[in-house]
Amino acid sequence: MKLKGVEIVITKGDITEADTEAIVNAANNRFQMGGGVAGAIKKKGGEVIQEEAVKQGPVNVGEAVITGAGSLKSRYVIHAATMKLDFKTNEEIIRKAAYNTLVLAQRQGIKSISLCALGCGVGGFSYKDCAKIMAQEVHHYLREFESPSLEKIVFTLYSREAYEIFEKNVSGYLEYMDKKMSLGPYLTVDGIIEYQGGIVMIERSNPPLGWALPGGFVDYGESVEDAVVREVKEETNLDFIGVKQYKVYSKPHRDPRFHTVSVVFTGTGEGELIAASDAQNAAVFKADSLPEKIAFDHRQIITEYLKKRG
C-alpha cells in the first residue's frame, strides 16, 4: 500500500539481508548487542556497529541513535532503545522508539528503512499490539512531516508467526486510520458512569492500552448525546441514564495516535455490566482504587470529576 506516496511493505525475511538504506535494531539503551536481532546484526555486520553505538550511549529508553552498517548491505543501522538491560518494555517505550526512529531517518534524509518488531523478542511484548502501535507511529510520522524523506518503509519479520500477525494488522490498520483520520481534530465522547458505588471503566483491547472510560468516535449524522449512549451500551451493556454534559477535553496530545476532542458526559448505569465491542474487560473502580495503567487523559478527567463532586 501507499500513504502520502510512501510505499508500506510487510515481508518475511532476515533484516540483516535487507537492501534498504537503513535497518532498525531493537536495542537496549546501552547498545550492548547480545542476542536476537542485535546479535544477528553484529555477527553479520561486524563489531564496529556495536562500537559506534556504545559511544552514543547510554540513552533514555525510547530514544534512537544511528551508526554505520559495517559489512551489511544497508548503509545505516538505527538503534531504537526499547528496553534497559533488565529487558523490560511497554507500550509507551515502543511507541516512542518507533516514532523517534522514523524522525531520525527523516533528519538523515534516508529514503528506505526496514523495521523489526520492537520489543517482541527478549522484551516479550505482544506481536499484535506491537504491530498496531508501530502502524500508528508510521501514521503519526506521515502526518507530522509534509514532505517525508522516506519513500519506502518495510516491516521485516523473521518468523512466520510474526509475519502473519503484522501482515494482518499493519496494512488494514493504516488504511482504516488514513480513511477515518484524513481530517482533524476528531470528535469523540466519553462517559463517566456511576454504578454500584463506583465508576465504570473498560480495559482496552487495542493500543493505546490500559483502562479507560467507555466512549469512542462520533459517527456522521449522530449527536454527541446519542453517541455516548451508544458507545456505553456497546462497550459495557449498560443503559446510560440521566446523561449530562460535563466538560470538553481537547489538548492535542491527549491521544498518542492523533488529535482528538472529547465531550465528556456524566450519568448512571443501569443493567448488567458486560464487556463487549473493543473492551476486553469491564469493572467498577472506587475513587481510592483506580487502576495503575489508565489510557489517554482519563485519570485527569476522573480526578477532576471526583474533586468537583466532593
Q: For residue range 30-44, list pLDDT tens digits in order.
A: 999 988 899 999 999
Q: Given this model, what pLDDT does residue 207 score?
A: 93
Report d(CA 50, CA 39) in Å as an integer: 10
Q: Given this model, what pLDDT does residue 181 score?
A: 58
Assign domain 186-309 one CATH number from 3.90.1150.10, 3.40.630.10, 2.170.190.11, 3.90.79.10. 3.90.79.10
Q: How far is CA 206 from CA 98, 117, 133, in A?
A: 17, 17, 9
Domain boundaries, the chain: 2-180, 186-309
Report whether pLDDT(273) > 70.
yes
- In this prediction, residues 64-92 reach a mean pLDDT of 97
For residue 134, give the C-alpha cell.
508501530
Note whether 88 and 123 are within 8 A (CB). yes
Report whether pLDDT(183) > 70.
no
Report whether pLDDT(191) > 80.
yes
Task: Supply the DSSP string of 247-275, one letter for each residue.
Answer: EEE--TTSSSSS-EEEEEEEEEEES----
Confidence of residue 173 (pLDDT cuts 50, 70, 90): confident
Phi first, then psi, for residue 133 (nearest 5°) are -65, -45
Q: Are strands 2-3 and 6-12 parallel, antiparallel or unpaired?
A: antiparallel
pLDDT digits (tens, 9 = 90+) for 95-138: 999 999 999 999 999 999 999 999 998 889 999 999 999 999 99
Report d(CA 13, CA 157) in Å as an integer: 6
Phi first, then psi, for residue 238 (nearest 5°) are -90, 150
For residue 30, give the C-alpha cell.
546501552
Instruction: Please state which CATH number belongs to domain 2-180.
Output: 3.40.220.10
Report d(CA 146, CA 225) in Å as an integer: 36
Least confident among 76-90, 171-185, 213-227, 247-261: 171-185
Q: Do domains 2-180 and 186-309 have the same CATH topology?
A: no
Report d(CA 74, CA 209) in Å as an integer: 34
- For residue 202, the SS3 value is strand
